[in-house]
Amino acid sequence: MDYPENPNSNLGFSNLTGNSDLWSLDFELSEYLMLEDHHHHHGVDQDSTSQSMASSEQVMGGSSGSTGATLRNNNIRCKDGVKKNKMEAGHRVAFRTKSELEVMDDGFKWRKYGKKSVKNSPNPRNYYKCSSGGCNVKKRVERDRDDSSYVITTYEGTHNHESPCMVYYNQMPYMIPNGWTSQASSHSSTP
């Protein structure tokens, strides 16, 4: 496993191509959100994070406007925002995708640790955490309360390890749908 050093591999969900069936079903990126004080300018920076969402913009731009991305433009808002500074551990990104499956394989392995129902929403919210030891990345998945066909996924934190199964295609990280199962227990770094 000798992958080139790629700084933006922390995101994990960088590029979604039509390979993964799960995402390509109705994958349609209506909206992305970046919280934290990580204010980015409009398409100026070539930062790793912006690169990932740049590819996201391609998806949302390329898809037909049937969904009306701006329709729900103010639907999702950073309500929690930066109320607390304790979680400076990483960035926070929220995606709103159209999919029947709420659990999308982004190349990482997650362990569910909680489920709560949100007020004013008929659908519960699921809390996941990265299974890798020492990795504190958390993920929050809920369905849009207006359109239950949409799924809002919020990533929080930065992975301190590579994606269990990621192949680098040209310059872009490229994800394989579900192949990580075979090498889940490669090494245990925690004594």
How would DSSP label each residue in 22-77?
A: HHHTT--EEEEEE-TT----TT----HHHHHHHHHHHHHHHS-TTS-GGGGTTTS-
Among 36, 127, 135, 162, binds DNA (CB under 7 A): 127
Buried b (16+ CB within 10 A) or exposed e, 45-61: eeeebbbbbebbeebbe
Interface with DNA, residue 187, by CB under 7 A = no
Interface with DNA, residue 92, by CB under 7 A = no
Task: Name which of 129, 95, 91, 83 is nearest 109 in CA terms.
Answer: 129
CB of 46 to DNA, least distance (A): 31
Which of residues 6 and 121 has its CB atom nearest to DNA in the complex?
121
Interface with DNA, residue 113, by CB under 7 A = yes
Cα–Cα distances (Å) from 134 to 3, 14, 23, 74, in that order, read 21, 22, 28, 35
Q: Is 9 helix (H, G, I), strand (E, B) or coil?
A: helix
Among 58, 117, 148, 183, binds DNA (CB under 7 A): 117
Interface with DNA, residue 80, by CB under 7 A = yes
Interface with DNA, residue 145, by CB under 7 A = no
Interface with DNA, residue 131, by CB under 7 A = yes
Neighbours of 67 (CB within 10 A): 20
Which of residues 70 and 178 has its CB atom nearest to DNA in the complex?
178
Interface with DNA, residue 110, by CB under 7 A = yes
Which of residues 91 and 125 has its CB atom nearest to DNA in the complex?
125
Which of residues 72 and 145 has its CB atom nearest to DNA in the complex?
145
**Kind and range of the H or E run holding 110:** strand 110-117
Size of the site for DNA (CB under 7 A): 22
Binding site for DNA (CB under 7 A): 80, 83-84, 109-120, 125, 127, 131, 138, 140, 184-185
